[in-house]
Amino acid sequence: MSMLTAPARRGLKRTAGALVGAVAMGGILLAAAPAQALPAQPALPYGTVTTTAGLNIRQFPSTDSSVVGFLAYHAQVGLTCKVRAQNIDGNTIWYLMRGSSHERWLSARYVANTGTVSYCDSVLAATLSPQAQHPHAKG
CATH of the domain at 78: 2.30.30.40
In terms of Cα–Cα distance, which of 61, 110, 113, 117 is closest to 90?
Answer: 110
In terms of Cα–Cα distance, which of 114, 130, 103 is closest to 76?
Answer: 114
Domain identity same for 16 and 63: no
Q: Across all residues in the chain, what is the average pLDDT?
A: 79
Is residue 82 one of the residues assigned to a domain? yes
Domain identity same for 66 and 109: yes
**Using 50, 70 and 90 to split pLDDT, how confident is the model at 100?**
confident
**Using 50, 70 and 90 to split pLDDT, how confident is the model at 20?**
low
Domain identity same for 56 and 100: yes
Long-range contacts of 82-89 (CB under 8 A, 24+ apart): 82/108, 82/117, 82/118, 82/119, 82/120, 83/119, 83/120, 85/61, 86/61, 86/62, 88/63
- Residue ranges making up the domain that contains 2: 1-32
Distances (CA, A) of 27 to 15, 65, 135: 18, 62, 67
How many domains in the chain? 2
Cβ proximity of 96 and 81 under 8 Å? yes
Domain identity same for 121 and 56: yes
**Using 50, 70 and 90 to split pLDDT, how confident is the model at 129?**
very low
The Cα–Cα gap between 1 and 103 comes to 90
pLDDT digit string, tens, across residues 24-81: 555 544 455 556 665 666 689 999 999 999 999 999 999 999 999 999 999 999 999 9
The predicted model scores a pTM of: 0.61
Is residue 137 one of the residues assigned to a domain? no
